[in-house]
Amino acid sequence: MGSSFRFLFALFCAVPALSLPASPYEVKESVHPPHGWVQHSAPSPSHGIELRIGLPQPNFGVLETHLYEVSDPDHHRYGQHLSKEEVEELIAPHPDSLDAVNDWLASHGIQEEDVTRSPGKDWVTLKLPVELVEKMLDTKYHVWKHTKTGDYIVRTTSYSLPIHLHEHVDVIQPTTMFGQFKPFRSTISKVEAAPATPAANSLGSLVNPATGLTIDASCNVTITVSCLQQLYNAVGFTPSAKGNSIGITGYLEEFANFADLQQFFAQQVPAAENSSFKVVSVNNGLNNQSDPGFEANLDVQFAFGISHPITPTFFTTGGSPPFIPDDDTPTDTNEPYLNWLDFILSQENIPLSISTSYGDDEQTVPEAFAKRVCADFAQLGARGTSVIFSSGDNGVGDGDSNPATQTCFTNNGRNETKFIPVFPATCPFVTSVGATDNVAPEVAVSSFFSGGGFSNYFSRPPYQDVVVPNYLKTELAPGTFEGLFNPEGRGFPDISAQGDRFEIIVGGQAFLIGGTSASSPTVNGFISLLNDVRLKSGWPALGFLNPFIYKKGFAGFTDILSGHNSGCGTPGFNVTKGWDPVTGFGTPNFGKLKELILEVTGA
């Protein structure tokens, strides 16, 4: 427990009532606990909560306008990304909000030195005993237990604020946030036989009818970096621009292992042998080299294997379960990606493309919180970073591994069945990536189901205004899945990439692993190669990708024409010609995209 926490607790006990809030309390947010969470016990009064207060960003609309202009390939400002300072100015809260929140905190004995603020001052973070938080938010916390996973968290289903504060606060968490950030790896199997790589050509070759490209036949069984280079038309390309960079985020004590990467490089990317990556620790994230993680190794081996020698960084972010109910340490606080966002947005230099293979059912993340986190991703895009997320591995369904028995119950207390979209993949400011398998041709992945569908929180972004209504009108029979999804919502994924039977090294041994967890670092690698092409020609990096992809870039993706994404007891959506909510526009063709991105030159 931190010393500021002890200090505040002592203060709270000694000085129980300073000036009281000026207005009565009213409920700010109220939720139904998501399926699977049951009340367990009362937390210890001294249980530490790392409280985050999100203040409104009155000029976010201006930031959004800038973001769309600098990302629109037809706009003269294309590529003219904003500086850190410009972004911070645009997301700054109104001084009245800062004052109102400060007064309220002071009325509970909390001073400026007790809080930390995000660079834009739009988030206030402070460590407090739950007893004080309950008083400040006029609520009661409980320890909740998940019936399936056995995880514990300390949450409430409702919290209140003095009426005058409502307009000065967007969100306060952890309160109603039950979501858990989970890695999207679906299938792992150990490779018992010798690795496939040395025998890559022994099975002969295949021609992908969709692209005309020739691919080792072994790639239909095992995916290697070489397979992806062949399949996505990047054979022989070596990046050489200065100033390029690529990042992978890791959470939940998933550590990327240096020795495994060397072994992987020796087998799959000999030219990268002896090269390594930088590890950046966020929120005391560890880097335990005795504990290699499947997710972290998959992401690092493939993203950095594809993009070598572009400068690679792995972010290890601390703050994760398991949480022990009687412990006073604040370990189960917010989603760790907020810690990462705080950190990354405070940096002058941010990797130009970053992928994350984690997420959760959108409905487990309260809407106000999801919107604030999504707005943070918009900041990254405005600064010129491509933000890439996996679309999830449960098709249109929920986390129940058997698509036939998924209840897909809504979280509104009525147990209605609805398709379950995945966050952050549904955030309109990220590029979300679904999964394919087979190589000649590629199809929507069938060993699990590519996450896809429509957001219930985020309305359709302008860049989808042609494609998505067209899909709904011409590809879905009238009335199909009516009431099961929000046809006005942001459709996802945007694109896709191979997502199964990736050969990786973990703890010195070869494994095959699958999931949209594999697809997003793959896309990250190829986007990084495209950034190389842009930088070498003297143009800025690609930044927020979607406006480009939906307007021009789609021509550089190979449309996937077969498959569907089962879930909730339905076969899910079908893959169709053009964009669909299973594989988006399809998989990248680097050779074609290389040409397209050089036609987009802005002013």
Ligand X SMILES: *[C@@H]1O[C@H](CO)[C@@H](O)[C@H](O)[C@H]1NC(C)=O
Residues designated as active site: 295, 299, 517
- Residue from 8, 63, 136, 440 that binds ligand X (CB under 6 A)? 440
Q: Which residues pair with 207 in a beta bridge?
A: 214
**What residues contact residue 234 under an 8 Å CB cut-off, 6+ apart?**
228, 306, 526, 529, 590, 591
CB of 290 to ligand X, least distance (A): 4
CB of 133 to ligand X, least distance (A): 28
Question: Which of residues 19 and 284 has its CB atom nearest to ligand X in the complex?
Answer: 284
CB of 424 to ligand X, least distance (A): 25
Binding span for ligand X by CB under 6 A among 41-49, 66-74, 163-171, 284-292: 284-292
- Range 197-256, binding ligand X (CB under 6 A): 206, 220
Secondary structure of 222-255 in HEC code, one letter for each residue = CECHHHHHHHCCCCCCCCCCCCCEEEEEECCCCE
Q: In whole angstroms, what is the distance from residue 349 CA to residue 383 CA?
A: 10
- Residue from 369, 573, 585, 590 that binds ligand X (CB under 6 A)? 573
Question: Which of residues 120 and 584 has its CB atom nearest to ligand X in the complex?
Answer: 584
- Residue from 65, 83, 201, 288 that binds ligand X (CB under 6 A)? 288
Binding span for ligand X by CB under 6 A among 43-51, 164-172, 413-421, 508-516: 413-421
CB of 406 to ligand X, least distance (A): 13
Q: In whole angstroms, what is the distance from residue 579 CA to residue 470 CA?
A: 9
Tell which residue, 366, 491, 478, has the closest CA to residue 431.
Answer: 491
Question: Which of residues 3 and 290 has its CB atom nearest to ligand X in the complex?
Answer: 290
Residue 219 has, within 13 A of its CA and on its CB side, a CA count of 29
Q: In whole angstroms, what is the distance from residue 320 CA to residue 324 CA?
A: 11
Asked whether 262 and 296 are in contact (CB, 8 A), the reply is no
Alpha-carbon distances of 345 from 118, 119, 283, 422, rounded to whole Å: 8, 7, 14, 24
Please give the size of the binding site for ligand X, defined by CB under 6 A: 17
Told to check if 438 binds ligand X by CB under 6 A, we report: yes
Question: Which of residues 90 and 396 has its CB atom nearest to ligand X in the complex?
Answer: 396
Instruction: Determine if the peptide bond prior to 93 is cis (ω within 30°).
Output: no
Secondary structure of 515-538 in HEC code, one letter for each residue = CHHHHHHHHHHHHHHHHHHHHHCC
Told to check if 291 binds ligand X by CB under 6 A, we report: yes
Length of the chain: 603
**Where is 297: in which H helix or E strand?**
helix 294-307
- Range 460-489, binding ligand X (CB under 6 A): 476-477, 480
Asked whether 234 and 227 are in contact (CB, 8 A), the reply is no
Binding span for ligand X by CB under 6 A among 124-132, 227-235, 410-418, 542-550: 410-418
CB of 37 to ligand X, least distance (A): 11
Told to check if 412 binds ligand X by CB under 6 A, we report: no
Asked whether 40 and 142 are in contact (CB, 8 A), the reply is yes
Q: In whole angstroms, what is the distance from residue 376 CA to residue 334 CA?
A: 15
Binding mask 260-279 for ligand X (x = CB under 6 A): -------------xx-----
Q: Which two tokens stand for residue 507?
A: 């703890």
Question: Which of residues 299 and 442 has its CB atom nearest to ligand X in the complex?
Answer: 442
Question: Which of residues 284 and 288 has its CB atom nearest to ligand X in the complex?
Answer: 288
Binding span for ligand X by CB under 6 A among 162-170, 306-314, 407-415, 547-555: 407-415
Q: Is 105 helix (H, G, I), strand (E, B) or coil?
A: helix
If one counts every other C-beta atom within 10 angstroms of the C-beta of residue 76, the result is: 10
- Residue from 109, 574, 598, 601 that binds ligand X (CB under 6 A)? 574
Question: Which of residues 79 and 441 has its CB atom nearest to ligand X in the complex?
Answer: 441
Told to check if 290 binds ligand X by CB under 6 A, we report: yes
Told to check if 321 binds ligand X by CB under 6 A, we report: no
- Residue from 111, 346, 415, 459 that binds ligand X (CB under 6 A)? 415
CB of 554 to ligand X, least distance (A): 21
Q: What is the DSSP letter of 577?
A: S
Binding site for ligand X (CB under 6 A): 206, 220, 273-274, 288, 290-291, 413-415, 438, 440, 476-477, 480, 573-574
